[in-house]
Structure 1
Amino acid sequence: MAQTEETADIGGVRERPAGRGWPGVVAVAGATFTVVTSELLPVGLLTPIGDALEVTDGTAGLTLTVTGLVGAVSAPILTPLLGRFDRRTVLCSLMGLLTAGNLLAAWTPDYAVMVAARVLVGIGMGGVWAIAAGLAVRLVPSRSVGSATSLIFSGIAVASVLGVPAGAYVGELAGWRAAFAAAGVLGLVVLVGLAVLLPRLPAEEEVRLGGVMRLCGDARVRTGLAVVALLVTGHFAAYTYVRPVLEEVSGVRAGTIGTLLLVYGVAGVAGNFAAGAGAARSPRSTLLVISAVLASTIALVPVLGGSVLTAGVLLAVWGLSYGGVSVSTQAWLLASAPGAREAASALFVGVFNGAIALGALAGGLAADGAGVMAVMWWGGGLAAAALAVTALGKSPSSGRP
């Protein structure tokens, strides 16, 4: 196959020459950061949202459940449905939908409109996340694909640990509606960046829904998805309600919540890069450590979180461990299905967001039925179950996809 100035064809995959695709990779990383931040925004704003819309904390938490559930369904469906369209066009359209959802949430006069807004966010989030996973190989030379993929997924990891405290800070300074409006503005900026920095990305290989589902026949994939489901469900059952828990256990004021969540976030970023290096060598060993630390830390919050200092320490350890979940589980799945990256990523996104929805729902039921402390025990128990599955299930021989 002849090589041109613009692209080369390597192994049937179009590849950008060195240095030409990295701005596009940065734009895609910005997109993953924005969609996951938008998804998780209610976590640090549950109390003011519930007060403004006149619903309980458990009901307010359903704004996260709805988004996660829609994202879980849309990711494996949109990937094959939009497979024949240019990826740049698809990403820009989905970012536009997500932006509209955030702006609608900022304006919402009641809970019903908020739910509708969160549905739009879920569709945009699920589609962007699933499609972004397979773009690195089309933007940079083959020798840089690993680094580019890590950068794209770092947007997800950083959003998972910094998006919540950022939203909490904006909400404290200017109100929860301002936090959603800021997310809408960020989405618009990223949309422009995608349109300007990405090259044309015409459809290459058709991904069928049946092919995505057939990956579940691989024991390594099934084990990885089970670990994702347990860890993420347990984490969000507890973390969705971390604000009311901290207010009840530690007696912290609203202004201190943002600081504690920032401590969590900074530790989470460090955990992301530490776990990424470990997962490249052994995803099983890395996830064993993550699961054990999460299980013990979450369960200890009601016991040892009685002061701001101990609560901050526990949140730092929590963030350090959870910050490595997305990169480690993604490494597990890509190593399990190296020839089906986009299909594996669609499954990963579907299960990940389904687990977010289930965790928020289970946490809401526990919070409304047994009190917010119950969500900590529930979350810790699920992380312990993930530890058992990781230890006993079949894993890929290497973390390298």
Structure 2
Amino acid sequence: MTTQHTSHGSALARFRESAGPELTMVLVGFVMAMTAPIELLYAIKLGLSPVLVTVFIVSSAAGLMLVDVLGTRVVTRIDARSTAVVGMAFFAVSEACYGLADRAPALIAARVVQGLASAVVAGAALQVTIRMRARPHRALGSNASLQMLGGSVGAPVGGILATQHAGVDGYRIAFAVCCGAGLAAGALVIVLLPRLPASHEVGGPRIGLPRLAVGRAARVALALGLIGNYLRSGIENTAFPLIGDAAGLTAAGIGISLGVLSMVEIVVLGTSGPLFEKVPPARALVWALGLGVIALGTLAVARSLGGFLAAAVLFGLVDGVALAAPPVLVVATSQDPSIAVANYRIACGVGSFSGSGSVNLLFGALGTMGCVVGGGLVLLCAAVLAGSRFLGEMRPSRAQ
């Protein structure tokens, strides 16, 4: 009896070590992307005015920044598995609130809770990576690609569920299913991951402002993390659809282009670890950002699906490196990896929030050329930062 129990425990431990984090990332990505394509449409169908729709879009930043700014001394000091479970539970609650909402205040409140849950889960995912993997520079990009892979399946599933009934009923079915999936995912995380407590040296959890006293190289790396998420939120998720629509591309064509972009991005993220052992992450980032200028030019002159697909492939390469390199540099330039990735989460939140808003304003005021010129300036500034002497030829070693 004892032997069987020990054998079972050892088998579970081996499974958790070999496949637990990877399966967790796919599962989390799947659940959290299920209703992402339909939330904005749901708000419009409920009759929210353009002003309230805008408030709805940006309100998720409240929950995100609350966790990412005031919660860095909590997320980094508690068990990462417990954090992930709590985050998925909050996400399930937000989906239930979506389904029950019929007025703007309830809908916006659901959005705030969803932003909070997303930040908790994202922070937990980073802590899982650095606590379970001896070479986090390999796992950071790979785990991000696995989350995107799960999301690439989850988003169509949620969209299909939303079309099963007319009006808002189909949407509410999708939210209900996603709520159940979130609770199930939280339970599965307990099986997939071992307990992952924080180091005793960091002290107990407490709410407060993050520790931002980091060296100059780490500050440069954090700035690059902010810009990487600015590019994904502003160029990939905002400018690309807006410019495509303005050029007469159909919704299906835009969707196909963005699907191609995501698949290229997933491949780059998944192979970034071995790449950064051969090429310094900062140098790879300079090359990628230079390619981004070419990608913007391709997007500006594209008038057919073929042109947009070419731009999508280029942007997939650019965004993949721009998302993979900064967290590796942040960890490599900081003394405490847990605190480093918590600060990185703040940079991600600021970049994502500012990216979509500023690019949307640029497009509204100046059209396609405003997006292209503004995005090009951001790319050039980021390339200068990535090529600075503070990062130099730093690269993770194979022994890390």
TM-score (norm 2): 0.79
2:267 corresponds to 1:270: yes
After superposition, the Cα gap between the structure-2 partners of 1:184 and 1:237, relative to the gap in structure 1 and judged at 3 Å, is same
Pick one of 222, 230, 239 that aligns with 1:225: 222
Say yes or no: does 1:388 pair with 2:381: no
Residue 187 of structure 1 corresponds to which residue in structure 2? 182
RMSD over aligned Cα atoms: 3.7
Q: Which among 118, 121, 130 is matched to residue 125 of structure 1?
A: 118
CA gap of 1:333–1:240, structure 2 versus 1, over 3 A, is same
Aligned to 1:284: 282
Is 1:155 equivalent to 2:146 in the alignment? yes
Which of 346, 361, 368 is the aligned partner of 1:365? 361
- Find the aligned partners of 2:85 and 2:302 in 1 and give their Cα distance: 43
Within 5 Å, give how 1:91-170 maps onto structure 2. Answer: 91-136=84-129, 138-139=131-132, 142=134, 149=140, 151-156=142-147, 158=149, 162=152, 166=156, 170=160
Question: CA, structure 1 residues 319+82, in 2 after alignment: closer, same or farther (shift >3 Å)?
Answer: closer
Q: Which amino acid in the other structure matches residue 286 of structure 1?
A: A
Instruction: Quote the Cα distance in structure 1 between the aligned partners of 2:40 and 2:341.
Output: 30
CA contact (8 A) 1:105 1:117 kept: yes
1:358 is displaced (CA, Å) by 1.0
16, 21, 43: which one aligns with 2:17: 21
Name the amino acid aligned to 1:152: N
User: Judging changes above 3 Å, is the alpha-carbon distance between structure 1 residues 186 and 271 closer, same or farther for their aligned structure 2 residues?
Assistant: farther
Give the aligned length: 378
Deviation, 1:259, is 2.1
Equivalent residue, structure 2, for 1:354: 350
5+ long unaligned stretches in structure 1: 7-15
Structure 1's 109 and 197: CA in aligned 2 closer, same or farther, altered over 3 A? same
Identity %: 16
Larger Rg: 2
The CA deviation at 1:237 is 2.1
Cα deviations by residue, 1:259-285 (Å, 9 ceiling, x for unpaired): 222112112112223433323341111
**SS of equivalent to 1:323:** helix
Partner of 2:3: none
Q: Which amino acid aligns with 1:104?
A: C
Q: After TM superposition, give the deviation of residue 320 of structure 1 in Å.
A: 2.5
Deviation at 1:246, TM superposition (A): 1.6
Native 8 Å contact 2:234 2:358 kept in 1 = yes
Amino acid at match of 2:285: L
Question: How much has 1:33 moved relative to structure 2?
Answer: 2.3
2:341 corresponds to which residue? 345
In the alignment, the residues of structure 1 paired with residue 310 and residue 248 of structure 2 have an alpha-carbon distance, to the nearest angstrom, of 13
**Which amino acid letter does the alignment assign opposite residue 195 of structure 1?**
I
CA deviations on 1:41-80 (whole Å, 9 max, x unpaired) are 25x8756754654444x97466454334532441243242
Q: Aligned partners of 1:394 and 1:179: how far apart in 2?
A: 48
SS at match of 1:398: coil
Measure how far apart 1:195 and its partner are.
2.2
Does 1:199 find its partner at 2:194? yes
